[in-house]
Structure 1
């Protein structure tokens, strides 16, 4: 009897362990099949294990284990695969392409950073990996037809069920890579293109239709509500699932009854959409999405084949990357949405090299902080993975003001980083009314009618991140690669003891309004007595309104679903969640 009890106990324990890892065999009808769609996105060349990045070997092992668990598994990438790490960048993505082949990825969307090194690299990656790119909304301007180097869609058979996969990319690609690399391309509205292609894919026999996109989304941590950057995608008839990327977020859930998923970034998670399908009727019985957060798992093992690939390529470039070029006493911190210590130091180097009055670079062009201690060449590749060069201009004070109007408090692209000038601005003010004063290092105020020498990077120079003002300025030419300039600056200094300066100065402008004209706030009576309806008046900003009611401005923005918290208008009504 005791032996029997022990046996039952062992069986129960074993089933509990299997349940923890999602391996319990679930009884299904003979005519049902479960198809799993696994996805990665925004891998950005994260080949080596570091911090939350589990590395290519463990990522691929997790993919292979999932495919062993369910042979009816398709693996897809949502783009931005290659550019981002020193090992990958020095070899133009070759080791990542080999990793993707070993992982058995079937198709990839085209990310904006797939264009960073030019169009010719895309064909090379496909040759190495054997993985076709899908892109339905990328058109050749010369022919006004979809590009020939990618297929708009593919239909594959999985255990008798036909799965149609349509590739789409963000329209932001036009300015979120080097614009000159994509000047021959048009990135059409992805929702409009999908509306035309989905019926065609259905006509060709697809039982399941997936949108494989490099398009972003955000999910609220508390409510789990999902906001798509292109909401119309979830309103297209016969779309059964949407795979996302670009915004580097953890997303898993349903939008309008459609499962959507985005697997975070850098290979830290595997996104999954699962379909249970009736094989006789070809109808979907059940659909759901989920995330496997690989960085939280302790059971991951290296895939030996991929480990060998990473080790070989790392060894190949090791002598270059491991070279210690100097050290820094203080951390050169960086946050792309703020003026950072790293951003100030970088633009100081740029300004000095070109003997310019002002230097500017985009916050997203710098990717990570430099911790205190030794600095290696490899770290500098992590800091600046993009091969940008110095680009100088003669600009009027008015054009310089436009740079800061566009680059301060820009939540879409991040904050402009700069040197040579102090900028006074009004927090929350509308673009065009944000900059109050610009004072050069010599104490002179920037004259809107005079001209000055400004140095930037070739990405911004060609209109990247929406800095189109450079196209109106007089170009003075391009010189050396910025990463090389930074490396030389560290070598020359040997020891950096750099401290951040106060270059961005917030100013509060008080405006007097006649009492008779000032709109009055009123309490919302109908639904919530803890909500005040506030009518925006001239000169208002969210932080000022929040201060008045002792509510954080971020909470007000979220409560009112403001797409851009910096844009509020006189006469606009805002609901303020207050606590009595």
Structure 2
């Protein structure tokens, strides 16, 4: 045999004996979070274009699904509370949208419990879309609630993908006690560890966490979120995040784990691409991007547009009635007093005629742009079925309330009737430096009347001090109905001056 032939045969034998070259295949994950009922498009007045809505999302999803061999559609929670179409039918409209788009899995957010556990059970039972949440337990037994799947494993083009979900464990401060009575919410990292172990045991090669826990930010110290969970629990490839209404662009990375968040209100859709090695059977890389859902770019799916319009008509045209006009932008701000917060609390105090009124910043959900203000806008600003309560507090207790306010990592109490002076550089618990009501310094032993949202009175959002109230009076009208009355009375909305919180 010639030397050349011998070398050729040796090469061919070596090639035959070597393993096949690894092939990396992409797994495309389109994701949303914090939809909050925004299934209808709306104009962006700055850009003079329209964006968002279920039909635009459906058009984008259809194009991405058609282009991908391996595709998932997932959501990070807080589906429905926030618009008439979302809130009035208690999530049914958004559930129908999820089903129509073919979501592979969604997680519950804290607002899925806003109408109580029985309402959530009914909503989930009527959905084809799988709902996964691993840390909602029966308080008495510690068992998983039967109406939520803890996790699932799905074969996606030959790749076994494990999906589990988490809702924030801080539900006691985010919900009325009656809405979560009998439930316990397991600490996120512990629940995640159990879920990942179970998914691996069932053969999951890729693990995705749907998270309504939130992300850590420097201006929100003490908030434990997705990064904390991922650092404590190895083996998670992708976190579809939510709860915090801030888009992650670029996405965050903790070691090999990618954390994504689209923001809120269906303004954007997210796309994560996981590169899966079919030889090692592991994710070897990942990328993420966000796509703004401009209607003139992505279009609208006709069938889903008809579905959203059906719900708009069912909710009723009455909400589209103009009740007032805004002559200037009225924005929210969680970290200090805002034009919107001042207007809302002024309206509350006009209704109840108390010394002070306060409103948690997180309860305000919408800004007003200059132009006509409709009942729909009022509803979207205050979508919760909450009432006002008048309480009577000593000056000493008021000091505790506002120390809690300026020390809160999630936002201050908006207020009317007073001025708060504080030192943001001081340690939490000693930031309040001055408090006045109706222009006079607060006296520790004097009693003051305060109007407050019932959610806050019952401990919601973590504000302290209201438990020492000497007496209270419950108001029958919903807070948003009072705001509608106020807007109608004013006609042209007053734009309150800022300066109720003064930083020293």
TM-score range, shorter chain: 0.7 to 0.9
Measured in 2, the distance between the counterparts of 1:453 and 1:71 equals 63
Select the residue among 458, 461, 466 that pairs with 1:465.
Answer: 461
Q: Aligned pair 1:40/2:32, yes or no?
A: yes
| Shift, 1:278, TM fit | 4.8
| Shift, 1:329, TM fit | 4.0
Measured in 2, the distance between the counterparts of 1:371 and 1:297 equals 20
Higher relative CO (Cα under 8 Å, sequence separation at least 6) belongs to: 2
TM-aligned CA distance change 1:29 to 1:58, over 3 Å: farther
- Residue matched to 2:13: none
Measured in 2, the distance between the counterparts of 1:308 and 1:402 equals 51
Q: Name the Cα RMSD after superposition.
A: 2.6
Measured in 2, the distance between the counterparts of 1:329 and 1:240 equals 48
| Shift, 1:296, TM fit | 6.3
| Shift, 1:170, TM fit | 1.6
| Shift, 1:439, TM fit | 2.0
Map Cα deviations across residues 278-317 of structure 1 (whole Å, 9 max, x no partner).
55x5612533131231346853010111100111221233
Select the residue among 342, 345, 349 that pairs with 2:343.
Answer: 345
- Are the counterparts in 1 of residues 52 and 268 from structure 2 also a CA contact under 8 Å? no
- Residue matched to 1:521: none
Map Cα deviations across residues 138-184 of structure 1 (whole Å, 9 max, x no partner).
22212222222211111112233221111112223332333442243
Stretch of structure 1 that moved more, 154-163 or 100-109: 154-163
TM-aligned CA distance change 1:215 to 1:356, over 3 Å: same
Q: Aligned pair 1:361/2:359, yes or no?
A: yes
Q: Secondary structure at the match of 2:441?
A: coil
Measured in 1, the distance between the counterparts of 2:474 and 2:290 equals 45
| Shift, 1:99, TM fit | 1.0
| Shift, 1:218, TM fit | 5.8
Select the residue among 53, 58, 61 that pairs with 1:55.
Answer: 53
| Shift, 1:119, TM fit | 1.9
- Residue matched to 1:205: 203
Select the residue among 359, 364, 372 that pairs with 2:370.
Answer: 372
TM-score for both structures, normalised by structure 1: 0.75
- Residue matched to 1:455: 451
Q: Secondary structure at the match of 1:248?
A: coil
- Are the counterparts in 1 of residues 193 and 233 from structure 2 also a CA contact under 8 Å? yes
Map Cα deviations across residues 456-509 of structure 1 (whole Å, 9 max, x no partner).
0011111111013223434514212110001112222333334325322333xx
Select the residue among 148, 151, 172 that pairs with 2:149.
Answer: 151
TM-aligned CA distance change 1:71 to 1:426, over 3 Å: same
Measured in 1, the distance between the counterparts of 2:283 and 2:433 equals 60
- Give the alignment of 1:191-270 within 5 angstroms: 191-217=189-215, 229-251=226-248, 252-270=251-269
- Residue matched to 2:86: 88
- Are the counterparts in 1 of residues 274 and 287 from structure 2 also a CA contact under 8 Å? no
Measured in 2, the distance between the counterparts of 1:331 and 1:273 equals 35
- Are the counterparts in 1 of residues 51 and 295 from structure 2 also a CA contact under 8 Å? no
TM-aligned CA distance change 1:205 to 1:462, over 3 Å: same
TM-aligned CA distance change 1:317 to 1:232, over 3 Å: closer
- Are the counterparts in 1 of residues 238 and 259 from structure 2 also a CA contact under 8 Å? yes
- Residue matched to 1:319: 317
Measured in 1, the distance between the counterparts of 2:414 and 2:262 equals 30
- Residue matched to 1:273: 272
- Give the alignment of 1:152-551 within 5 angstroms: 152-217=150-215, 229-251=226-248, 252-279=251-278, 281=279, 283-284=281-282, 286-295=284-293, 298-408=296-406, 410=408, 412-441=409-438, 443-479=439-475, 480-500=477-497, 502-507=499-504
TM-score for both structures, normalised by structure 2: 0.86
TM-aligned CA distance change 1:378 to 1:157, over 3 Å: same
Measured in 2, the distance between the counterparts of 1:125 and 1:95 equals 10
TM-aligned CA distance change 1:259 to 1:98, over 3 Å: same
Map Cα deviations across residues 346-366 of structure 1 (whole Å, 9 max, x no partner).
112222322322111011111
Q: Secondary structure at the match of 2:465?
A: helix
| Count of aligned positions | 471
Unaligned runs of 5+ in 2: 1-19, 45-49, 219-223
